[in-house]
């Protein structure tokens, strides 16, 4: 049975709410008070009935506070057919209807048929467990497991169990060891009181002893007949007993000579069960490994192996190319800024050239500058004309004084002084002109030598700073042009080297595209390498699994050959015959227990049942004859008896004795009826145990396998007996449950539950409901238990209710928190 969807009309906090179960296992997550427990109780209530309103059960009804609607429905799938199970308010757990796909409606009988032999108590004990259930592993006993097993494993065991309950109930109505109300208990108490009353009545008569002696004397005449009956009656009773035992004896004789059959021990049967389970698991793992290998091969074929091989072989070269690109890209901003600076330098150079209007010469060297400065200094030192002028002035004064004083000499001297001063002045001016001509020629020659002829001499020295600046600008512009050409050549060369792998009009684009290509190749190389490694690993796992599978099959075939069978079906038939032989042996043993050694010896004296009946009839005839004769003798002693009767006032003693006899007969009849009920119940229980006993070893084997998985093979064996549960580790050391950690003890309980479910899933496969059952598990063991639940999910639906947010990563989640927010 699998639950596909849930609709709640009204149940606790949920009103007119739908849930869809989309995954298996299905995680149902929610914080405290999100409604997880309410939803789980609703599912169980629809399947098995709502709680009544008695006592504490009224809190388990979950009647909604704000809605009159109560109940809801489950859409389930059973054996490929869908059914809608609806349960609403009503007596006896609510009114239930089951509707199939064709629209046919059924009642509670159909639901019971869908649930098989499982009632609510058994369902909760096997398919539903919580943290409180895990804590009860200390109280687990073999009888509990055997009881659940016989309920699920034997055909009609539920009806037989109800019949046993009825038999025991009827027996309890007759007698209980410490009861007061049962009929037999009351009659036994009444019999004891009556004995006390008889004893008191007898003590009232002083002559009672004397009358008894007289009565015995009167009976003396019949003593011989009684002696004869004493001899005959045991013989009659023994023959009658042997007559009743003859059918049992005949059955025992038939079963004491069983047909010959190849022998095999229970350990070998358990070993075959284990090997079959292991073989099925290995075959499943082999199929999974082959599927995974095919999948990996298909994924690997999608890669371009030539490109990946080239990438891996030249990875260092590609890294160097990427480094060059990154260097060029890293220099790009610097180059871009430098280009802006060069643009400024170019404009500055043009402005300087435009300032002078001619092609600018090279700047002067320091020596040339000193030479020019010397030339300009020579030009700056003119001829001193003050003395000739002064002499002319003195001569003019003397001439004027001579003329005024009519001194001829003074006038003559004055004129001579003026003439001499004039001559001197003319001579000095000539020297000045010659010196200027020589200076001009030197400057012209200097200008021609240094390309300064087109510029005024006065600008030659001031313009040197500009000329040096222009020369510096030319050098910078030439160097920048050379760097630009070199970068362009490097970029062009990289483009050619990366052709077919990456392209780009600029360094940044080419670097980005090539980085993407490298990243893609690196990812594909890692993926391809991982696929190759996975393929090798899976291929080795497949070989190991096939080898292990052959070993398991050979070990199984060896056991098969020991009993003369060749396949699983033949071995199953052999086990059926073996079970039937054991049943016959058990029946024979049961018959044998009813026969003592003396019974067998006495019955062996008779040839057949007719011979026994003939001798019995002969003795009975003898007894009847003796009784008739005894009756006649007793009538003769009747007079003595009347005397005793008269001593009992109003006949009280006789009446009490009669009532005591009647009560004793009634007690004997009721005791026989009580024993019959007990024997019938015991026989049915033993028959149910025999009917389901063959599954018990398989359950323990599966539980041991699950427990080994959960504990990483630390424990290898589970021992379940009348004293409780113990485990055995790899060193053969045994530990009681109380000696285990809380987490390990809970894992043991989970392993037993899951082993029970896995073995019985072919008979009953109901949904498994787990309510926060693994809070004491660490992350590793929680992952392992979810792996086991995934295995069980192939046959049983698994619903896992939890408030642990780590479960959000396990599987598709039904998040109740989101429903509450809505």
The predicted model gives 524-545 an average pLDDT of: 87
* Distance separating alpha carbons of residues 152 and 529, to the nearest angstrom: 52
Cβ proximity of 127 and 48 under 8 Å: no
* Distance separating alpha carbons of residues 640 and 215, to the nearest angstrom: 6
- Higher-pLDDT residue of 432, 244: 244
Kindly indicate the confidence band of residue 281, based on its pLDDT and cuts at 50, 70 and 90: very high
Kindly indicate the confidence band of residue 10, based on its pLDDT and cuts at 50, 70 and 90: very high
Q: Is the pLDDT of residue 687 over 60?
A: no
Running DSSP on this structure, what letter comes out for residue 804?
Answer: -
Q: Is the pLDDT of residue 620 over 80?
A: yes
Kindly indicate the confidence band of residue 77, based on its pLDDT and cuts at 50, 70 and 90: very high
Cβ proximity of 311 and 318 under 8 Å: yes
Q: What percent of the chain has pLDDT over 70?
A: 77
- Higher-pLDDT residue of 679, 542: 542
Q: What is the model's pLDDT at position 757?
A: 82
Kindly indicate the confidence band of residue 152, based on its pLDDT and cuts at 50, 70 and 90: very low
Tens-digit pLDDT profile for residues 577-595: 887 777 666 666 666 667 7
Q: Is the pLDDT of residue 606 over 70?
A: yes
* Distance separating alpha carbons of residues 455 and 352, to the nearest angstrom: 14
Q: Is the pLDDT of residue 474 over 50?
A: yes
| CA dihedral sign of residues 423, 427, 430, 436 | negative
Tens-digit pLDDT profile for residues 206-215: 565 666 676 6
- Which pair of structure tokens corresponds to residue 430? 């000539």
Whether the ω angle into residue 25 lies within 30 degrees of 0, i.e. cis, is yes
Three-state DSSP class for residue 14: strand
Q: What is the model's pLDDT at position 708?
A: 85
The pLDDT mean for the chain works out to 77
Kindly indicate the confidence band of residue 162, based on its pLDDT and cuts at 50, 70 and 90: low
Rounded to a whole number of angstroms, the CA Rg of the chain reads 63
> At a CB cut-off of 8 Å and minimum separation 6, what does 105 contact?
97, 98, 99
* Distance separating alpha carbons of residues 134 and 751, to the nearest angstrom: 11
The predicted model gives 441-447 an average pLDDT of: 79
- Which pair of structure tokens corresponds to residue 175? 């007698």
Cβ proximity of 797 and 811 under 8 Å: no
Q: What is the model's pLDDT at position 155?
A: 40
Q: What is the model's pLDDT at position 810?
A: 67
Q: What percent of the chain has pLDDT over 90?
A: 9
Cβ proximity of 820 and 35 under 8 Å: yes
Q: What is the model's pLDDT at position 591?
A: 61
The predicted model gives 557-575 an average pLDDT of: 87
Instruction: Count CB-CB contacts under 10 A for residue 389.
Output: 15
Running DSSP on this structure, what letter comes out for residue 806?
Answer: G
* Distance separating alpha carbons of residues 456 and 479, to the nearest angstrom: 32
- Which pair of structure tokens corresponds to residue 178? 């410490």
Q: What is the model's pLDDT at position 546?
A: 93
* Distance separating alpha carbons of residues 523 and 529, to the nearest angstrom: 10
Q: What is the model's pLDDT at position 739?
A: 79
**Can you tell me which residue has the tokens 């642990």?**
804
Q: Which residues pair with 421 in a beta bridge?
A: none
The predicted model gives 634-658 an average pLDDT of: 65
Running DSSP on this structure, what letter comes out for residue 796?
Answer: S
Tens-digit pLDDT profile for residues 354-405: 777 767 888 888 888 887 778 777 654 555 667 777 877 887 887 788 878 7
The predicted model gives 118-141 an average pLDDT of: 68
Three-state DSSP class for residue 253: helix
The predicted model gives 707-724 an average pLDDT of: 77
Q: What is the model's pLDDT at position 156?
A: 44
Question: Pairing state of beta strands 768-771 and 128-130?
Answer: parallel
* Distance separating alpha carbons of residues 439 and 430, to the nearest angstrom: 14
Q: What pTM does this model have?
A: 0.40
> At a CB cut-off of 8 Å and minimum separation 6, what does 799 contact?
3, 21, 25, 26, 28, 40, 43, 767, 768, 769, 770
Identify the top-confidence range among 30-44, 163-177, 216-230. 30-44
- Higher-pLDDT residue of 11, 218: 11
Q: Is the pLDDT of residue 150 over 60?
A: no
- Which pair of structure tokens corresponds to residue 761? 């899933």
Pick the range with the lowest mean pLDDT from 294-298, 429-433, 441-445, 456-460.
429-433
């Amino acid at each position: 049975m699998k639950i596909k969807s849930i609709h709640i009309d009204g149940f606790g906090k949920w009103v007119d709410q739908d849930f869809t179960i989309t995954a298996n296992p299905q995680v149902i997550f929610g914080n405290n008070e999100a409604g997880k427990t309410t939803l789980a109780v609703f599912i169980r209530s629809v399947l098995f009935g709502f709680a009544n309103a008695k006592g504490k059960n009224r809190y388990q009804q979950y009647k909604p506070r704000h809605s009159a609607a109560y109940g809801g429905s489950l859409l389930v799938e059973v054996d490929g057919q869908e059914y809608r199970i609806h349960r609403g308010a009503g007596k006896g757990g609510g009114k239930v209807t089951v509707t199939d796909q064709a629209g046919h409606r059924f009642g509670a009988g159909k639901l019971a048929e869908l649930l098989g032999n499982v009632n609510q108590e058994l369902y909760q004990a096997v398919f539903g467990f919580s943290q409180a259930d895990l804590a009860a592993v200390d109280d687990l006993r073999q009888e509990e497991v055997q009881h659940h097993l016989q309920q699920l494993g034997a055909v009609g065991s539920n009806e037989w169990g109800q019949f046993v309950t009825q038999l025991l109930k009827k027996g309890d109505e007759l007698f209980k060891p410490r009861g007061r109300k049962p009929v037999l208990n009351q009659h036994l108490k009444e019999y004891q009181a009556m004995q006390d009353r008889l004893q008191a009545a007898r003590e009232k008569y002083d002559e009672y002893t004397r009358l008894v002696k007289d009565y015995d004397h009167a009976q003396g005449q019949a003593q011989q007949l009684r002696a004869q009956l004493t001899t005959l009656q045991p013989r009659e009773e023994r023959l009658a007993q042997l007559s009743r035992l003859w059918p049992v004896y005949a059955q025992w004789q038939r079963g004491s000579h069983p047909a010959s059959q190849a022998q095999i021990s229970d350990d070998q049967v358990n070993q075959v069960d284990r090997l079959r389970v292991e073989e099925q698991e290995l075959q499943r793992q082999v199929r999974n490994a082959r599927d995974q290998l095919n999948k990996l091969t298909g994924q690997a074929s999608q890669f371009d192996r030539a490109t990946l091989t080239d990438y891996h072989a030249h990875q260092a070269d590609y890294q160097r190319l990427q480094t060059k690109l990154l260097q060029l890209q890293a220099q790009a901003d610097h180059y871009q800024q430098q280009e802006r600076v060069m643009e400024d330098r170019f404009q500055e150079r043009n402005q300087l050239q435009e300032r002078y209007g001619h092609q600018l010469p090279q700047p002067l060297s320091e020596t040339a500058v000193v030479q020019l400065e010397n030339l300009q200094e020579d030009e700056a030192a003119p001829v001193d004309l003050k003395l000739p002028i002064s002499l002319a002035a003195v001569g003019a004064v003397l001439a004027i004084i001579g003329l005024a004083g009519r001194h001829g000499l003074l006038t003559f001297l004055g004129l001579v002084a003026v003439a001499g001063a004039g001559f001197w002045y003319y001579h000095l001016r000539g020297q000045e002109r010659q010196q200027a001509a020589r200076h001009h020629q030197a400057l012209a020659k200097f200008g021609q030598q240094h390309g300064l002829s087109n510029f005024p001499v006065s600008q030659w020295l001031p313009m040197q700073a500009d000329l040096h600046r222009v020369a510096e600008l030319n050098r910078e512009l030439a160097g920048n042009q050379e760097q630009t050409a070199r970068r362009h050549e490097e970029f062009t060369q990289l483009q050619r080297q990366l052709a077919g792998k990456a392209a780009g009009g600029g360094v940044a684009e080419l670097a980005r595209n090539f980085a993407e290509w490298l990243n893609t190749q690196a990812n594909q190389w890692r993926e391809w390498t991982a696929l190759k490694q996975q393929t090798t690993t899976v291929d080795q796992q497949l070989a190991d699994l096939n080898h292990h599978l052959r070993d398991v099959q050979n070990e199984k075939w060896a056991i098969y050959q020991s009993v003369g069978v060749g396949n699983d079906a033949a071995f199953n038939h052999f086990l059926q015959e073996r079970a039937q032989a054991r049943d016959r042996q058990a029946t024979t043993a049961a018959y044998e227990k009813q026969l003592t050694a003396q019974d067998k010896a006495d019955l062996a004296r008779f040839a057949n049942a007719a011979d026994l009946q003939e001798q019995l009839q002969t003795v009975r005839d003898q007894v009847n004859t003796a009784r008739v004769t005894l009756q006649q003798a007793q009538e003769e002693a009747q007079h003595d008896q009347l005397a005793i009767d008269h001593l009992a006032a109003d006949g009280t003693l006789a009446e009490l004795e009669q009532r005591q006899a009647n009560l004793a007969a009634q007690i004997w009849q009721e005791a026989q009826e009580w024993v019959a009920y007990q024997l019938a119940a015991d026989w049915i229980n033993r028959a149910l145990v025999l009917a389901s006993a063959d599954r018990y070893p398989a359950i323990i084997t599966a539980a041991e396998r699950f427990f080994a998985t959960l504990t990483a093979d630390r424990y290898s064996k589970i021992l379940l007996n009348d004293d409780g549960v113990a485990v055995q580790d790899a060193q053969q050391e045994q530990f009681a449950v109380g000696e285990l950690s809380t987490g390990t003890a809970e894992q043991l309980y989970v392993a037993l539950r899951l082993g029970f479910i896995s073995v019985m899933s072919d008979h009953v496969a109901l949904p498994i409901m787990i309510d926060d059952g693994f809070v004491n598990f660490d992350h590793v063991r929680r992952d392992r238990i979810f792996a086991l639940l995934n295995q069980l999910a192939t046959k049983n639906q698994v619903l896992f209710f939890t408030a642990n947010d780590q479960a959000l990563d396990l599987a598709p989640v039904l998040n109740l928190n989101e429903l509450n927010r809505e």
